[in-house]
Amino acid sequence: MINGLGMSREMNIEIMDTTLRDGEQTSGVSFLPSEKLQIAKLLLEELRVDRIEVASARVSEGELEGVKKITHWASEKGYLDKVEVLGFVDTPKSVDWMVDAGAKVLNLLTKGSLNHLTHQLKKTPEVHFEEIADCIQYAEERGIEVNVYLEDWSNGMRNSREYAMSMIRFLSELPVRRIMLPDTLGLLCPEEVKEFLGLICTEFPDMHFDFHAHNDYDLSVANVLTAVNSGAKGIHTTVNGLGERAGNAPLESIVAVIQDFTNFGLNIQETKIYRISKLIEQFSGLRIPANKPVVGENVFTQTAGVHADGDHKKNLYFSDLLPERFGRTRKYALGKTSGKANILKNLVELGISLEPDELAKVTQKIIELGDKKERVTTEDLPYIISDVLQNNSIHRDIVIDGYHMVHSKGLKPSVQLRVKIFHEFYEQNASGDGQYDSFMKALKKIYKSLNKELPKLTDFQISIPPGGKTDAFVECVITWDLDGRIFKTKGLDSDQTIAAMKATEKMLNIIEQIKNSNKTEKKNPYGNEYSPIAW
């Protein structure tokens, strides 16, 4: 197997995901037992992580129920040795709790720094070591396999290295499967990780060491990359980087970095990452930032037109971090910096081909929306195209040239309106039951002064593109009856009243075309009499 840098794979790194234990320590996050089971199934069966840590022993009855659900399912599926529970040096309590829960792997929490041991437990190393040995022996007697956490190991290596090394030396002589080295406070930098792990892995080459990173300095991914290159055989992660304070090393980023920047392999099914990430987002109630690597909404979206143009010509802005790897697709955003290239990419997806002048007008419309800081989505594009094409087919002899609207509590809305009819300007004021009603009353005053009649409004609809994902505009569709001729006009804008006014402006121009057509005795441009026409 070859990675993104062309290096052959030598061995696999174990991924132990602790979303269900350490991830649940995120402020405000608590998974239901049924949610825990679904997450466990997806992590082990779909994503295929090597191990999962699902709970802390003795926390609550709900925690016990959740672990029982998971261990029952895992036992049936042959995954029980992949399900781990954090426990404490409290013989026999944590081990008995695990036996009751049906679990088989204990992650024993010990003190990895002399500072924690002295000031929190108020014990000597000799007493702590003896209690650890007793707990491991009891677990072995109850059929429980043991891994050992060295809590605050990073501070231990900084400030009490002799103690930390003596702890590892002591554990190496006990029936311990893995020694787990947490950067509990997320305080290490890559240079320290390289120094500490390099020293430990050199002195204990036959031991399996896991590295557990926190992200307080935003260095968790960099530290993990350094850890695997320095001898760590296992890495702890959480989906979406959940965890206490700034969170843990995010699984999605860790997978991409190990795959692309090391010669180590993984058992992970990358294409399942996004699906599981979105499920955890729903269960946790914590939204994924739009710019979060791998799983964020925007990370595979090109916005700049020059990037879309480069991709169109020869995938010039592609990298090994392809969206398809993670079950996603590349998108080309629509906004004021998009340019024609982004729009063309989206049009190809929709199977639409526009003339150059039409494409220019669609581009200009999107730029206008972008200048208003409106978000345009792919779902919006057909609406914008429809509006542009309809505008092209109507002569703008009549223009709503200016307006001032007032809407305040306790008073009727009012509008001051100026309309340009051919080359003349007309102004009127009116108040009504709403802003659009006020607008129509002012417009009727202008037309009445000119002895002109307006068609009857028979239907009025406001909507957004299907899916309700846009915040860029609404569409207003108004149905009119002009002496029995039924036709519709549409308006698009970020404000629904303005959208309605634009639809009305189209109507004013259409009725002028109808009158001119009747005067010259041309064929009815709207089809058969009384046929419904949409503009």
Of 38, 40, 101, give the one whose Cα is nearest residue 68.
Answer: 101
- DSSP of 428-494: EEEE-SSHHHHHHHHHHHHHHHTT-PPPEEEEEEEE-STTS---S-EEEEEEEEETTEEEEEEEEES
356: Cβ contacts below 8 Å, ≥ 6 apart: none
Q: Give the bridge partners for 511, in sequence order.
A: none
Contact 11, 275 (CB under 8 A): no
Which is catalytic among the residues 21, 51, 178, 325? 21
500, containing H or E segment: helix 496-519
> Can you tell me the distance from the alpha carbon of 314 to that of 303, in angstroms, rounded to the nearest whole number?
17
Which is catalytic among the residues 24, 53, 84, 151? 151
Examine the residue annotation and report whether 21 is marked as an active-site residue of this protein: yes
Number of H helices, E strands in the chain: 17, 17
> Can you tell me the distance from the alpha carbon of 157 to that of 114, in angstroms, rounded to the nearest whole number?
10
> Can you tell me the distance from the alpha carbon of 302 to that of 473, in angstroms, rounded to the nearest whole number?
22
Examine the residue annotation and report whether 9 is marked as an active-site residue of this protein: no
Dihedral, 290, 293, 295, 300 alpha carbons, nearest 10:
80
Dihedral, 36, 38, 40, 45 alpha carbons, nearest 10:
180
Contact 413, 406 (CB under 8 A): yes
Sheet with 424-431: list strands edge to edge. Answer: 398-406, 414-421, 424-431
Contact 5, 260 (CB under 8 A): yes
List residues with catalytic annotation.
Answer: 21, 151
